[in-house]
Structure 1
Amino acid sequence: MLHCSSQEVSRRRRLAKNGLTIDLLTDGLPPCPTTKRKAAPPEIIDAERSAYRDKVRDPDPDWPPDVRAVYCTCRERLFEMGLEAQEVTDNLGIRNHNIYSRFRYFTGQRIKEWIIQHRLRLAKRFLRRTSLSGTWIAFAVGYESSSGFCTTFKRREGCTPTAFREREEE
């Protein structure tokens, strides 16, 4: 249930893989014709992202500099499509494969798990506070497709985003 053509999805994925940030809310993506939900103004999504990001704790000053750098970069780029742990370490010039186990040691999670956890927390916040469709929420929190978002959400939360929203509204 995507809101854009397969060509547009392919273009967005290519751009994301090349490191370009795509703001799906101002990039001409029309509202979903199959639902009555409307797109939220970009400032609402930006405000929610910013408020959430501000609540993510700062890295401990006692952590090694490379772990702090990876953590801070992941936190800053948390909602970008195509964010990958390997890309983050490469962009920081960290060639030590030990960084993955060190990140896990200090945060308690793998880099990918940390990213997914925070994306899903923001998604649940959107589901509780807005009437955005699941597709809009998927894009707003950094997923490249609504199906990938729904699959991850269901695997982690035990229900679909729609069922979660209905349960929260009761």
Structure 2
Amino acid sequence: MITHSLNIYFCGREACSPAHSFGPATRSHYLMHLILKGEGSFHVADHTYHLKANDAFLIKPDESTYYIANSKNPWEYSWVAFGGNDAGAILKSCGLMEEDPVFYGSKMLLNQRKSQNVHLLFESMMSLQDNYDNPNGSSFLSLAYLYQIFGYIQMCIGQKKEGYMGDYLQMACEYIEQNYSYQIKVQDVARAVGIDRTYLYKLFQGNLRISPQEYIIRYRTKTAENMLLHTNLSVTEIAYSCGFHDSASFCKTFKRHTGFTPVNYRKRR
């Protein structure tokens, strides 16, 4: 299924023979290997990563890589090839677009919470593989399992706030713009983006000089202005459509921001 935002091209599984290798070669897409058993080495950009069961490595498009199974304890891995307009941003949010394109799940097994997420990550990969191989499998389910994989990696690694300030702010604004008609709260925005409320507040104040709550109110008000001028919806309909509890609170907020009541503002068209 082609979605453009995220596409799965193929996936597979292989139990490698001792010292089995591939490359050096490039790929035209992203390719992620999840190591199920054994050991091996991944070589990219003059770096060598020694990996084992519960680890994973990512190959990026047009990047020359080489990987080889251990001669005594060769690895078995599953892989998934994917791409799409959102693939890079998703990987970045998972911490896999930094200097180390690897996931050290084996080092997280002593942490109870992270260990559980590592196991769920690999279970999702097995489910993806089974669904992909099933002639009656669903392409939507395959994408869902891939998103689960990204989600568990993100939960294990944790997001690095310092590197993604602009990304978090953009994600927060987009969330508000897509959900302003609902009774969203600042905590809902922070949860959707994956950061705490205090950090979200600092992002808005530092970049937009307003709080997240004020941004929500201004966006609702601006949307209401447009609807008053370009639709024939009633004031009550516009109030509910823009996420206000009732027309009274809408009128009060609207006048505070524009200097007009909704009815008088509409007369300007």
For the aligned pair, the TM-score class normalised by the smaller chain equals: 0.5 to 0.7
In 2, Cα distance between equivalents of 1:94 and 1:62 = 11
Q: Identify the structure with bigger relative contact order (alpha carbons < 8 Å, sequence gap 6+).
A: 1
CA contact (8 A) 1:89 1:95 kept: yes
What is the CA deviation profile of residues 95-147 of structure 1, one whole-angstrom value per residue up to 9, with x for unaligned ones? 36132022221223211111111211111111111222110110111112111
Q: Given the two structures, how large is their TM-score scaled by the length of structure 1?
A: 0.55
CA contact (8 A) 1:63 1:106 kept: no
Q: Does 1:83 align with 2:83?
A: no
CA contact (8 A) 1:126 1:137 kept: yes
Identity %: 28
Matches within 5 A, 1:130-141: 130-141=231-242
Structure 1 alignment gaps of length 5 or more: 1-60
In 2, Cα distance between equivalents of 1:126 and 1:96 = 31
After TM superposition, give the deviation of residue 162 of structure 1 in Å: 0.5
Amino acid at match of 1:149: F
Secondary structure at the residue paired with 2:184?
Answer: coil
Q: Given the two structures, how large is their TM-score scaled by the length of structure 2?
A: 0.36
Alignment match of 1:98 (pick from 199, 218, 236): 199
Cross-structure match for 2:106: none
What is the CA deviation profile of residues 19-61 of structure 1, one whole-angstrom value per residue up to 9, with x for unaligned ones? xxxxxxxxxxxxxxxxxxxxxxxxxxxxxxxxxxxxxxxxxx9
- Structure with greater proportional helix content: 1
Cα RMSD after superposing both structures: 2.2
Q: Does 1:125 align with 2:226?
A: yes
In 2, Cα distance between equivalents of 1:122 and 1:62 = 28
What is the CA deviation profile of residues 139-167 of structure 1, one whole-angstrom value per residue up to 9, with x for unaligned ones? 1111121111011011111121001112x
Number of equivalences: 107
Structure 2 alignment gaps of length 5 or more: 1-162
Alignment match of 2:264 (pick from 159, 163, 166): 163
What is the CA deviation profile of residues 48-102 of structure 1, one whole-angstrom value per residue up to 9, with x for unaligned ones? xxxxxxxxxxxxx9744433332222222122x2111112213444236132022
Tell me which structure has the larger Cα radius of gyration.
Answer: 2
